[in-house]
Amino acid sequence: MRQKMLLMERGRMLKMKLVMTKEMNLQMTRTTVVLLHSYLDRAHMPLEVKSGMFHVTLKPQTFTRRAILSIVASVYDPIGFLAPFIFTAKYILQELCKLSCGWDDEIPSAYHLKWQQWLVGLRQMESYKVNRCIKPKSFGAVASAQLHNFCDASEVGYGVVTYLRLTNTEDAVHTAFLFGKTRVAPLKRVTIPRLELTAAMLAVKIDKMLKTELQTPLANSVFWTDSTSVLKYIRNDTKRFQTFVANRVGVIRESTDIDQWRHIATERNPADLASRALRPSASLHSSPRLQRSILTQPIRGSPQAGPAAGSCLGPAAA
């Protein structure tokens, strides 16, 4: 009897501890959320985190695939500020893989110069600063917020870049970089239209992830592509596609509406930089200029079928 009472008492104590632990975890979660929301506004952000920079420390390395992979993997850039630049190193690794270069074998001399140039660019990243606040202090009350996802592909890879477009009560517009992602093309050759469709599917997945993480009211997202093939795939309700195309179109149609997709000229697409191997000067300075010239203009109309219809921008785009 006494042993049974002791077990019941210990059970009650364990239950109390579990309840207290849940309450403490909930309180910590609430505190973390409050801190995250306050950090999004410059007025409540500590001075030391208002802008970010990249610190580079390189140790002597040998010219092997293993050493290259070690350096590339050590670059911590989860948001994708340096995605177009890092893509170049990924492409070098893929080319070495195609040549069946061993992990500890010295890479061919033709790739020595390419890798050294990339390392020089990596050291230049220390001068690259990022404004981590997505809403300026003097912007005022936000009337609407909207995600704009740009996607593109080339023979060597594909990429997505997402911006947040804010409009205040006076119809002033501010845009901020949110996320970037690049991937090299598969070793097995895939046609450009299929890579463009894969990039579009990646844009949908990233948009879904960002909506979950931002936890803020957002208008319907807009998706931009320079591929007329992708737009025709998405708009087609009658033709039966092959498995590769059907699976990706299914993902896109499940999460987006047709009128969320727009056409944009290749030379104006910021994601074009993410799908090509570029030098640091080109990859880090062109994209912000492109997105400012596009997203600060009035956006109107319905989805476009191709360049003949023009882009879905206001008169200022002409």
CATH number of the domain to which 182 belongs: 3.30.420.10
Domain count, the chain: 2
Alpha helices in 79-218 (DSSP H): 83-98, 109-124, 192-214
Sign of CA dihedral 300, 301, 307, 310: negative
- 106 and 169 inside one domain: no
pLDDT of residue 34: 33
Inside any domain, residue 9: no
Sign of CA dihedral 276, 279, 284, 285: negative
Which residues sit opposite 160 in a β-bridge? 151, 181
Inside any domain, residue 26: no
Inside any domain, residue 39: no
What mean pLDDT do residues 88-106 have? 93
What mean pLDDT do residues 87-101 have? 93
Q: Are 315 and 274 in contact (CB under 8 A)?
A: no
Domain housing 152: 137-317
What mean pLDDT do residues 177-201 have? 94
Inside any domain, residue 7: no
Q: Which amino acid is at 269?
A: N
Q: Confidence class of residue 26 from pLDDT cuts 50, 70 and 90?
A: very low
- 111 and 170 inside one domain: no
Q: Which amino acid is at 35?
A: L
How many angstroms from the chain centroid is the CA of residue 30?
Answer: 27
Main-chain phi, psi angles of 289, to 5 degrees: -65, -40
- 87 and 234 inside one domain: no
- 171 and 124 inside one domain: no
**Is the entire prediction scored with pTM above 0.85?**
no
